[in-house]
Homo-oligomer: A and B are copies of this chain.
Amino acid sequence: MTDATRPASPAASATETAGNPPICAAHEAAEQLLHLARLVQGGATSASENRPALTPAQWTALRYFARANRFSRTPSAFSEFNATTRGTASQVVKSLIGMGLLQRSMNQADGRSALIDITPAGRACLQGDPMTTLGEAIAALPPPLRAALGQRISALTATLARRKNAPVFGNCRDCRHCDSAADNATWCHCTQTLLSASDMGALCVDFAPVARRA
């Protein structure tokens, strides 16, 4: 391939990126981060035997209801988490229920509220989550780098969520509502319940530096 096949003359190169301040490293990193997310979600979401070709929104919902604790598995909480409207969230949930990946049950104490739980089929489906490729890539990092990366991303998420007026959705282990009395159990002052060890790693709407219901 010779120079003649290239579109721009050398003289043209002066104008094309001129007048443009050199992109700062932070801006560039932000672009790469969005690009990374796009690569995970967009590229070739084809179905296979154990991967039923869910849309990005459906994967997000399935992941959410697999990870959220029992106070947070409602359509409304998911809509807040995902920075969308309740209507949109309701549709996504409905579609997943129709596939048998989620199931709905009534809240005995509040007739308005619905409890959404992931089904065994839903858990099996999560094994084919396209996001796991990213998880594996992160897992391949040396442990100190991986830990630092996770901390940074968490902090950025919190910053952005605050700026977008979305709730922060942290883990109970970092929540100031929680009182770690014993080794295996923790008292949550917000929900007035005793949390098991598995609860501690789950997402919670009531996560708070800022108390929302106290």
Contact (Cβ within 8 A) A34 B40: yes
Question: What is the CA–CA distance of A138 and B26 in the complex, to the nearest angstrom?
Answer: 5
Q: Number of A interface residues, CB 8 Å?
A: 98
Copies in the complex: 2
Question: What is the CA–CA distance of A135 and B67 in the complex, to the nearest angstrom?
Answer: 28
Q: Does A49 interact with chain B (Cβ within 8 Å)?
A: no
- Given A34-B131, A36-B153, A134-B160, output 13 extra A-B contacts at Cβ < 8 Å: A2-B192, A6-B191, A16-B69, A16-B198, A23-B67, A27-B135, A29-B149, A31-B131, A33-B33, A33-B37, A39-B166, A133-B160, A141-B152
What residues of chain A have their CB less than 8 Å away from a CB belonging to chain B? Answer: 1-8, 10, 12-14, 16-20, 22-44, 60, 63, 66-67, 69-71, 81-84, 107-110, 113, 115, 117, 123, 131-141, 145-150, 152-154, 156-157, 159-161, 163-164, 166, 191-196, 198-199, 201-202, 213
